Structure 1
């Protein structure tokens, strides 16, 4: 996502500084909520499987996991809508520019953005192209698929960087 924004050699010249920082923070809130939703969905599915004693409920848990992730994603995004203005209240323009410039300068941050955005786009596309078996696709499922894809992208980045490349970017 960060690659879509211009990046200048000096922080004080950074254009779109509020847009860059706002986009970054909202997306990270979305991701944090997705991870919380995934964990909640997995625990709920596991508890249901243990209570019923049937492994067939684990397969029904995929829809529940997507819905839980969707709700978590929206909650995380909403939390950042409130927290960002509170955190940046009273900050000068150069502070906004410096923070956004440092985000664009950080190679690791750019790689995380690339991988997670790829996952957030590809997962819903893949799922939309699959046969839906009559399940209703609402906002929870759509956001859940994007959240799961984004999380998978981050896991892919971590695996690629630290397991395959030995920590080199």
Structure 2
């Protein structure tokens, strides 16, 4: 996602600073909620021994997991939208430009964005090609994308910090 934005040499020249920072923060809210939501939903499901209402073809455990992921992702996005407004209210334009420029300058941030957006796409495709994808409500649809984002971030962590040892190709010999 971050690779799609223009990235000039200097922060003062950063175009679309508000859009870059807002996109970053809202997507992080989506990801955070997608991680916290299923933890709360699964715990609630186990403690209360409830079954989520589901169409007949969606397995109950999958319905609970995806619905709670979708709810968490939606709430996380909303909470960080309010947080962004509270944090950046009244800030000068250069502060927006500097923060967004630093996001685009960070190689790790670019890589985690790439992996997580690929995960969102994989989650959407997985739901669309499943036998119960058309029956799914909005929370299951959002939850599928949220699960994909979570899997994408986990894939990034395994790749960069497990396989590559946290090193970048240009740092391999230093």
TM-score (norm: length of structure 2): 0.86
Deviation per CA, 1:86-135, whole angstroms, max 9, x where unpaired? 100111100000000000000000011000010011112122112118x7
Measured in 2, the distance between the counterparts of 1:108 and 1:90 equals: 29
Match of 2:160 in 1: 161
Measured in 1, the distance between the counterparts of 2:153 and 2:48 equals: 28
Measured in 1, the distance between the counterparts of 2:116 and 2:48 equals: 30
Match of 1:125 in 2: 125
Match of 1:14 in 2: 14
Q: Is the contact between residue 45 and residue 61 of structure 1 (CA under 8 Å) also seen in structure 2? A: no
Q: Is the contact between residue 116 and residue 154 of structure 1 (CA under 8 Å) also seen in structure 2? A: yes
Measured in 2, the distance between the counterparts of 1:99 and 1:38 equals: 31
Measured in 1, the distance between the counterparts of 2:146 and 2:81 equals: 17
Aligned-pair CA distance for 1:40: 1.5
Aligned-pair CA distance for 1:8: 0.4
Match of 1:34 in 2: 34
After TM superposition, list the pairs within 5 Å mapping 1:17-166 onto structure 2: 17-47=17-47, 60-132=60-132, 136-166=135-165
TM-score (norm: length of structure 1): 0.89
Match of 2:172 in 1: none
Measured in 1, the distance between the counterparts of 2:146 and 2:73 equals: 6
Deviation per CA, 1:23-78, whole angstroms, max 9, x where unpaired? 000000111111111211332344467x9xxxxxxx62111110000000000111
> What is the SS of the residue equivalent to 1:68?
helix
- Show structure 1 runs of 5+ residues with no match: 52-58
Corresponding residue pairs, total: 161
RMSD, aligned CA: 1.9
